[in-house]
């Protein structure tokens, strides 16, 4: 019996999700690893991670406004991919702390808006296709992340951490090629909801109590969980793990997201987006507590399995709420 829903063709948006998240897997999980390779201690690593976080706060609204101004998420997404790839290729030449405090925020300036841009692009595209849901496509991103981080982790263990720069550029190039073959969103669709026709007054957005509370809550959550992601490779090494084991931990974290994204349509039919976000926050708290108790690599593996619920639910909730 034929499916009631149109089939999602590959590569298309599934391919975009697969390779874009594969690209991200070559950078974000390895930031602390690269900094450790440069001889930085926890304090200096924290300094770089803080600079990255501050840049992310600035970069996402900036690129959102650019997207609104030129009426194209697609163009901004490609610019961000190309810019971050070119800068990251310089990483093998950078060793001093001052230089690292420049190059990493520069990379984050381009990479931090990539996921919001891609999620908006994918969500709106699926919304315009009868019977399609964001979750049906988003799980390809988790698959790409899991596959490539294991492959890159293996290559890094056999060569050097500099392999991440090359892998990032190659997967980024594939993502750009796929993006070029995808249709742009309609002009009225924008990453920045301030530009929506039904919201002509930007100041009104900040007088919306529910929306403002939602954004502030996410900001606090971001501040709380950022150290968890940033220092996870250091934790793995501290409990007796290896670099390659860490890559498998991150792969597991992505794989367990897949069932959640597959069930996204059913979850949204039963729960409000805000409810999913609250549930995800509770699981983030459990993860943080679990990592604090971890004393061996197996414990890190088990706690990381909760990522499927925490990150999966919060991604679905945020995309649907916004």
CATH number of the structural domain spanning residue 301 = 1.20.1250.20
* Torsion, CA 237, CA 243, CA 249, CA 250, rounded to 10: 120
Per the domain annotation, does 279 fall within a domain? yes
d(CA 80, CA 100) in angstroms, rounded, equals 19
Number of domains the chain is built from: 1
Question: Could you tell me if residue 136 is inside a domain?
Answer: yes
Q: Is residue 135 part of a domain?
A: yes
> Using one digit for the tens of pLDDT, what is the confidence trace for 118-158?
888 888 888 776 457 778 888 999 999 999 999 999 999 99
Contacting residues for 90 by C-beta, under 8 A, at least 6 apart? 103
Express each pLDDT in 201-250 by its tens digit: 445 555 666 666 666 767 777 766 777 778 888 889 899 998 889 999 99
> How high is the pLDDT of residue 162?
93
Structural domain contains residue 4: no
| pTM, rounded to two decimals | 0.84
In a domain, 302, yes or no: yes
| Domain span holding position 230 | 12-194+203-321
Contact 73, 123 (CB under 8 A): no
Calculate the alpha carbon distances from 295 to 121, 136, 243, 291 in Å.
41, 37, 17, 9
Domain contains 3: no
- Is 59 contained in some domain? yes
């Amino acid at each position: 019996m034929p499916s009631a829903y149109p089939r999602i063709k590959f590569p298309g948006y599934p391919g975009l999700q697969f390779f874009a998240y594969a690209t991200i897997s070559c950078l974000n999980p390895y930031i602390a690893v690269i900094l450790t390779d440069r001889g930085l201690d926890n304090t200096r690593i924290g300094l770089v991670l803080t600079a990255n976080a501050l840049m992310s706060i600035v970069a996402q609204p900036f690129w959102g406004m650019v997207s609104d101004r030129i009426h194209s998420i697609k163009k901004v997404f490609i610019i961000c991919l190309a810019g971050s790839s070119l800068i990251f290729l310089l990483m093998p030449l950078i060793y001093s702390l001052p230089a690292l405090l420049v190059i990493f925020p520069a990379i984050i300036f381009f990479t931090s808006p990539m996921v919001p841009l891609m999620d908006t692009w994918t969500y709106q595209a699926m919304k315009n296709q009868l019977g399609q849901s964001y979750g049906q496509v988003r799980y390809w991103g988790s698959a790409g992340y899991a596959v490539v981080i294991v492959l890159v982790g293996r290559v890094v263990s056999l060569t050097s951490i500099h392999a991440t720069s090359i892998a990032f550029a190659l997967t980024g190039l594939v993502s750009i090629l796929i993006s070029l073959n995808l249709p742009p969103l309609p002009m009225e669709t924008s990453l920045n909801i301030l530009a929506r026709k039904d919201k002509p007054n930007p100041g009104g957005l900040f007088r919306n109590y529910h929306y403002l509370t939602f954004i502030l809550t996410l900001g606090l959550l971001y501040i709380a969980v950022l150290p968890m992601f940033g220092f996870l490779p250091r934790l793995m090494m501290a409990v007796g793990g290896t670099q390659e084991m860490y890559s498998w931990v991150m792969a597991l974290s992505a794989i367990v997201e897949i069932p959640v994204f597959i069930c996204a349509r059913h979850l949204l039919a039963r729960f409000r987006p805000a409810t999913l976000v609250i549930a995800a926050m509770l699981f983030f708290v459990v993860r943080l507590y679990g990592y604090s108790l971890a004393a061996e690599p197996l414990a890190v593996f088990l706690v990381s399995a909760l990522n499927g619920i925490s990150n999966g639910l919060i991604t679905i909730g945020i995309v649907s709420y916004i």
